[in-house]
Amino acid sequence: MRSLPLVITLTCLVLTGCKSDGPLRPDAYGTGAEVETPSDRLTTLNALDARVNAVGFRLSVANAELCPRTGPITGLLLHAESQYADYLREAARENWKLRGDLPGVAAIAPDSPAARAGLRTGDLLLSADGQPFQDGGPVGDAGFDGLSRNLAVLAEALDDGSAELVVERDGQRLTLRLGSVAGCAYPFQLDPSADFYARGDGERVFISSALAALSPLDDDLAVVLGHELAHNILDHRAYFDEVGLARDVLGNWGVAPWELVRAEREADRVGLFLSARAGYDPARAGPYWRMLSGRLPHLRMVQWGHPSAGERIRSLERVAEEIAVLRAAGQPLIP
């Protein structure tokens, strides 16, 4: 019997389905980021991508038993030359030695099966269980199709829990065995964007690069990503853009605002438990939200569907205390 489909995470840099379809505004990279050249831009986004991948991996593994949808995950974040738009493609090729549609390693979550396999950022995957990946020939318009076909081959090879990979590293070929672990089957992705938002759409969890850059600690990222994972776990399918576009949620789905507020409170509470279960500090939620509401003034107001920042901070602090009490009593952290 086939196991559940492998959850493969791709970088969301410049491709269909993600928000960015052209050169980004400089603030998409975070304030003060050095983004003079295409290579700088990719390096900055890759660092954010790697953090989102690492936090997402930990959240996924620690909360597998709470997720209605699970699958084998590896901690690998993959990308290909062919997904990059023209203005970034040469830099992508130079930074990571990417080639056509071949899957390259963009990031590896610490303590993941990919890390234990000995994979490294910059490795190019050539085959899985003897099935070669296709480079797809000369690269045309930016797209995902060729990489997706290769990832289907990888998923098939990992169907029994592990796969023998041949990778290219510094011109040498190495053979490694990649395993997997059960995790929540909602890939975490970075959306390159100057807007501040995160969303859980029932399938995936997204965070904009501007918001990720404004989240200095992984504990902070875990507050946001845990909240969005909670929306998916709780099946709040009508939730898309969190911070900036809540009115669209109201307009598009016609849900009464009080129901949105209730769902937001529920996602805040469950999300902080998810974050704590993954080993992140729930006491960061208060200071983090305080910082966000100082930097993003519109958060201070009551928005459509969102509790005001002040109320949010107070209730998150109460949840953090509740978690501390459970911990001190040696009780399991079940939201």
- Residue 264 near residue 306 (C-beta atoms within 8 A): yes
Which of 309, 308, 312, 284 lies closest to 216, judged by CA? 284
Interface pattern 184-223 for Zn ion (x via CB under 5 A)? ----------------------------------------
249 scored as a contact of Zn ion (CB under 5 A): no
Candidates 45-53, 123-131, 153-161, 261-269 — which segment interacts with Zn ion by CB under 5 A?
A: 261-269
267 scored as a contact of Zn ion (CB under 5 A): yes
Q: Which pair of tokens denotes residue 22?
A: 């052209």
Rounded CA separation 119/94 (Å): 19
Candidates 95-103, 166-174, 235-243, 250-258 — which segment interacts with Zn ion by CB under 5 A?
A: 235-243
261 scored as a contact of Zn ion (CB under 5 A): no
Question: Which of 194/245 has CB closer to Zn ion?
Answer: 245
Spatial neighbors of 151 by CB under 8 A, at least 6 apart, are 8, 10, 78, 103
CB of 289 to Zn ion, least distance (A): 13
Q: Tokens 């959850």 — which residue?
A: 7
CB of 130 to Zn ion, least distance (A): 44
CB of 283 to Zn ion, least distance (A): 20
Question: Which of 218/241 has CB closer to Zn ion?
Answer: 241
Question: Which of 101/241 has CB closer to Zn ion?
Answer: 241
CB of 227 to Zn ion, least distance (A): 5
Query: What is the number of residues in the chain?
Result: 335
Question: Which of 14/207 has CB closer to Zn ion?
Answer: 207
To the nearest 10°, the Cα dihedral for 302, 304, 305, 310? Answer: -10
Question: Which of 190/267 has CB closer to Zn ion?
Answer: 267
> What string of DSSP letters covers 176-237?
EEE--EEEES--EEEE--SS--EEE-SS-EEEEHHHHHT--SHHHHHHHHHHHHHHHHTT-T
What residues line the site for Zn ion (CB under 5 A)?
242, 264, 267
